[in-house]
Amino acid sequence: MVSRTFRLEKSTVEQLECIAESRECTKTEAIRFAIQTGYDALQEEYAVGDDSGDLQRQIDYLQTANLALMDQNAQLVDALSKAQAVQAVLAAPKRRFLPPWRWGRKNRE
């Protein structure tokens, strides 16, 4: 077994001594208790249930954003088709539009 030495701040040592006194245990047991308490706190913070809720909220947000983008895309396609129709009318050769009573006037003369 490899042993490692950690340097603890004075306040941390004092906290461990307080834990040992309050729980009436040795300093080693107080260290184990502090480590286990910290581990349990991390497990609660990153619990699987909470992550799935966050993930579901993210999925819902992305689906809503996707629908909004698809709607904007459809509006853009519609606007482009209308613009192309207007452009085609404007680019058509200019014709002189005659009222119906003047149609065929050249043929009569």
Report how far apart, in Å, the C-alpha atoms of 60 and of each of 3, 14, 65, 78, 89 are: 49, 48, 9, 27, 44
Whether 62 is in a domain gets the answer: yes
Q: Is residue 32 in a domain?
A: yes
My answer on whether 40 and 15 are in the same domain is yes
The CA angle 39-8-22, to the nearest 5 degrees, is 65
Q: In this model, does residue 6 exceed pLDDT 70?
A: no
Domain hosting residue 22, numbered range = 8-46
Put simply, whether the predicted model's pTM sits higher than 0.85 gets the answer no
Overall average pLDDT of the 49-74 stretch: 81
- Does 22 fall in a domain? yes
Same domain assignment for residues 12 and 37: yes
Q: Compute CA distances 44 → 37, 38, 52, 107, whole Å.
A: 11, 10, 14, 95
Say if 102 falls within a structural domain.
no
Residues 67 and 36 placed together within one structural domain of the fold? no
Q: What's the domain count of the chain?
A: 2
Identify the residue with better confidence: 102 or 87: 87
Residues 14, 41 within the same domain: yes
The 3 state secondary structure assigned to 66-103 is HHHHHHHHHHHHHHHHHHHHHHHHHHCCCCCCCCHHHC
Backbone dihedral angles phi then psi of residue 26, each to the nearest 5 degrees: -80, 170
For residue 2, pLDDT over 70 is answered with no
Residue 2 resides in a domain: no
27 shares a domain with 13:
yes
Biggest distance spanned by C-alpha atoms of the chain: 125
pLDDT at position 49 is: 54
